[in-house]
Amino acid sequence: MLLERISIDPGICHGQACVKGTRIPVHQIVRMLANGDTVDDLIAEYPSLSREDFMACLDYAGHHDEHFA
């Protein structure tokens, strides 16, 4: 699922992991969730993203937690 929803491109956001097709970094989504935003809140704020995009961000963070320390 990660490869379908998360991309890393040196030319986009300095190579940070982003939701594919956007310039929204994974770390931004994870931090908003950690600060109390719900997935439903974020879907309302980012209507182009799906629940699966948010779950992919969490999955990515779980597999790459050293970058989120």
Q: pLDDT tens string for the chain (69 positions)?
A: 667 999 999 999 999 999 999 999 999 999 999 999 999 999 999 999 999 999 999 999 988 766 554
CATH assignment of the domain containing 15: 1.10.10.10
Q: Which residues contact 37 (CB under 8 A, 6 or more apart)?
A: 45
Looking at residue 15, its pLDDT comes to: 95
- With 0-12 / 13-18 / 19 or more C-beta atoms within 10 angstroms meaning exposed / middle / buried, residue 61 is buried
What's residue 69's pLDDT?
46
The pLDDT of residue 31: 96
Domain that holds residue 20: 2-68
pTM recorded for the entire structure: 0.86
User: How many independent structural domains does the chain possess?
Assistant: 1
- Joined together, the tokens standing for residue 14 give 């300095």
Sign (positive/negative) of CA torsion 18, 19, 23, 25? Answer: negative
